[in-house]
Every structure is written in structure tokens, then in C-alpha cells.
Amino acid sequence: MSSTLSWFITIVSLANIIGCYVLIKWSSKPLPGEAAQGQVTGHTWDEDLQEFNNPMPRWWLWLFYITMIFALIYAALYPAMGNFKGSLGWSQKQEYEQEISDAAKTYGPIFAAYSKQAIPDLAKNPKAVQAGQRLFLNYCSTCHGSDARGAAGFPNLRDSDWLYGGTPEAIKTSIMNGRNGIMPPMGAALGADGVKTVVAYVLSLSRAGQDAAVVEQGKLKFQTLCAACHQPDGKGSHAIGAPNLTDDVWLHGRSPGAITQTVTQGRTGVMPAHGEFLGEDKVHLLAAYVYSLSNK
């Protein structure tokens, strides 16, 4: 935070506290021409309902003073005034790191014990799966859903279709290091007609009913521009995360329009790395849970 902004926040905060005090003192003094304390103000409703000039209860007034005193003490002890750190030296980061440290001491040995077991074995252990599920709900459900079935652009983790492989090692690597998937836009290279024929060919790999002549044209273009990643048979490659186009499982939608958009404009996908944040022991347990979803 810049010093200018820091001073601005400090001055405004203190001015508010002082302003509250001044306002209370000013409102406590009688105004010129005001009725004396305990006297009728002159306001009358419903013929005989009169307003008296009575002060608020003293305990109520002291509550205002107490809140002001509390605000000043709080501002002196904690970082409430710009760049001032507070006399106690407290910070959110310090508090967070302390909580993480305490949690690591309590739960670290549990995760360490799980990390010594093979992922397929952990996937059969109900307690390990339950612990892994809690990790998943905290760190993965935002993208993959609480049921791990994913959504458009986010893989379903309950089926047997894997971009980078569904082995325990591949799953753990994906969680530890993350993944960056890129499908380059092919619209300019193929042209509008070329995109149509390639889409027809891609659809023919998993669905019947495509025009044979159009499919044949698309196959030639596919072999020239797409086979390097998706392989000549269209079954893709786990090594580079190229999808299998023959199983009718689609990450960004299975309609002809969605596939046309993918071929024309390309796609990008990012799976963030969790290794540094979670640590290998937790990632190992999390991988076991994900593995259990498709390996009952």
C-alpha cells in the first residue's frame, strides 16, 4: 500500500471516531430556544399526546463512548490504520500459517501413513477414500463438481476416458504438476468447407449416418493436419493429452456445432498444479480417491 493511501485511510478512520464523539457532545447540548429538560417541546399529536425533552438513558450514551474507546484500542493493537502493523504484530498471513502448521502437526502423520500405501490399495480402503473425498470437495469440486462428473470443459472423472491416462501414476502426475492442453485453431488452414468435411469425418468415427463422400474428403484432411496429435486412427495420445475421437465422449460438447467450434477456433484447457500447495502426501491420497471413482 502506498504511503499516500495509508495516510488517507488513517486520517479518515480517526476522523470518523473523533466525529462520532463530537456529534454526541454537540447533540447533548440544548439548542437556542429549545425546551428545558423535562419540559414539553411543543409537539402534540392526537390532541393530547405531547413530546417531552428527555435525554436518552445514560447507559445508552456510555455504550457509544465504549465503542469509541474500543475502536481506538483495537486500532492501536491491530493493523487497522493503513500501513501501521499494530503493536501486537498480528497479521492474516501469520494467522493462516499458524493454522496450517497446527493442522500439519495433527494430520500430517495420517497423510504420511497413507502415502506409504499404493494408490490401488488405498482406493479399496473406505477410510482412505472418505479422507480423499474431503480433499476433493475442498480443492477440486469447483471445477469437476461435487459428484466428480465434470461439466463442459471440465473432465468427468467417473468414466474410463482420460486425456493423459487413467493409471495411478498418470492421475497423481496430473494433480501434482497440473496440465496445459491446447487444441490449435484449424479454421484458417482448413477453410469453411474443409472444417465441414473434417467434422463429418470426426463424427463418423463414433457415429453412423454421415455422408460417405464428405467423410472421405474429411479423412484426407484429417490425416494431413490432425493425425499428428490424434493419431491416424483418431484414438488420440495420452502422452500429449490428445482426445480419443472414436469413443463419442466429448469434453466441450458432442453436437456438430460444438465440434465445429472446436475445430475452427481451437480450445485451451488448464488443470492447475496442486503439488506445491497440498504436498505429495495429500496428493497421493487425493489421487487414490479419483482413481477409485472409475475403478470400482
User: Mean pLDDT for the chain?
Assistant: 92
Average pLDDT over residues 241-268: 95
Residue 287 CB partners (closer than 8 Å, separation 6+) = 119, 132, 168, 171, 172, 175
Average pLDDT of the segment spanning 145-159: 95
Return the number of other C-beta atoms located less than 10 Å from residue 215's C-beta: 18
pLDDT band at 266 (very low <50, low <70, confident <90, very high): very high
User: Is residue 38's pLDDT more than 80?
Assistant: no
Q: What is the mean pLDDT of residues 268-274?
A: 95
Q: pLDDT at position 215, please?
A: 96
Predicted local distance difference test score (pLDDT) of residue 58: 86
* pLDDT the model gives residue 142: 95
Say what the pLDDT of residue 50 is. 81
pTM over 0.75: no
Q: What is the arithmetic mean of pLDDT over 266-282? A: 95
Distance CA 117, CA 129 (A): 13
Q: Which domains does the chain have, with CATH numbers?
A: 3-90 (no CATH), 93-178+273-294 (1.10.760.10), 181-271 (1.10.760.10)
Whether residue 40 has pLDDT greater than 90: no
Give 27's pLDDT tier (boundaries 50, 70, 90): confident
46: pLDDT strictly greater than 90: no
DSSP E strands: which ranges in 104-201? 179-183
Q: Report the chain's C-alpha Rg in angstroms.
A: 34
Q: What integer pLDDT is reported at residue 36 of this predicted model?
A: 73
**Cα 120 from Cα 88, distance rounded (Å):** 49
Residue for grid cell 470426426: 202
pLDDT confidence bin for 19, thresholds 50/70/90: very high
Closest to 163 measured CA to CA, from 4, 269, 88, 90: 269
261 pLDDT above the threshold of 90: yes
How do residues 51-86 score in pLDDT, each as one tens digit? 777 777 889 889 999 999 999 999 999 998 888 889
Averaged pLDDT for residues 222-226: 96
